[in-house]
Amino acid sequence: MADLEGNIDSKDYGLGRPQETPGSAIKGAGQLDYGMRHRLSRIFGDDGRTVMLAFDHGYFQGPTSGLERVDLNIVPLAPYADALMATRGIIRSVVPASADNALVVRASGGPSILSELSNEQIAMDIEDAVRIDAAAVAIQVYIGSEYETQSVQNLTTMINDGMRYGVPVLGVTAVGHQISRDARYLGLATRIIAELGAQLVKTYFCEEDFEKVTAACPVPIIMAGGKKLPVLDALTMAYKAVDQGASGVDMGRNIFQRKVPEAMIQAVRGVVHGGLSPEQAQSMYQELSGGLAE
Ligand code: R5P
Assess whether pLDDT exceeds 80 at residue 5. no
What mean pLDDT do residues 105-133 have? 96
pLDDT tens track for 56-75: 999 999 999 999 999 999 99
| pLDDT, the chain, mean | 94
Tell me how far CA of residue 105 lies from CA of 110, 216, 255, 294, in angstroms.
15, 26, 19, 30
> Cβ(265)–Cβ(80) under 8 Å?
yes
Dist. CA 273 → ligand 1 center (Å): 21
Query: What is the rounded distance in angstroms from the CA atom of residue 133 to the CA atom of residue 230?
Result: 35
Assess whether pLDDT exceeds 90 at residue 4. no
Q: Counting atoms of ligand 1 from 1, which one is nearest the CA of 251?
A: 13
Task: Determine the residue type at 190.
Answer: T
Specify the pLDDT at position 60: 94
Beta-strand relationship, 121-122 and 108-109: antiparallel
What is residue 77's DSSP assignment?
G
Instruction: List residues near ligand 1 (CB under 6 A).
Output: 54, 56-57, 172, 174, 224-226, 250-254
Q: Whose CA is nearest to atom 5 of ligand 1?
A: 57
> Cβ(16)–Cβ(215) under 8 Å?
no
Work out the pLDDT band at 9, boundaries 50, 70, 90. Answer: low
pLDDT tens track for 254-294: 999 999 999 999 999 999 999 999 999 999 999 999 988 88
> Cβ(288)–Cβ(267) under 8 Å?
yes
* Interaxial angle between packed helices 278-288 and 261-272, expressed in degrees from 0 to 180 and rounded to the nearest 10: 150
What mean pLDDT do residues 96-105 have? 97
Q: Counting atoms of ligand 1 from 1, which one is nearest the CA of 106?
A: 4
**Share of the chain residues as helix, strand and coil, in percent rounded to the nearest 5:** 40, 15, 45
Task: State pTM to two decimals.
Answer: 0.93
Indicate the class that CATH gives domain 29-257.
alpha beta
Cβ-in-10-Å burial (0-12, 13-18, 19+) of 28 comes to middle
Strands (E), the chain: 50-54, 83-86, 102-106, 108-109, 121-122, 136-141, 169-173, 200-203, 221-224, 248-251
What mean pLDDT do residues 149-168 have? 98
pLDDT tens track for 202-213: 999 999 999 999
Catalytic residues: 202
Specify the pLDDT at position 294: 84
Work out the pLDDT band at 46, boundaries 50, 70, 90. Answer: very high
Dist. CA 141 → ligand 1 center (Å): 13
Q: Ligand 1, from 51, 53, 56, 227: best to mutate by most atoms within 8 Å of Cβ?
A: 56
Q: Whose CA is nearest to atom 12 of ligand 1?
A: 226
For the chain, give every domain's residue range. 29-257
Query: What is the rounded distance in angstroms from the CA atom of residue 1 to the CA atom of residue 17?
Result: 30
> Cβ(181)–Cβ(144) under 8 Å?
no
Query: Which among 128, 118, 47, 55 has a CA at the least distance from the CA of 90?
Result: 55
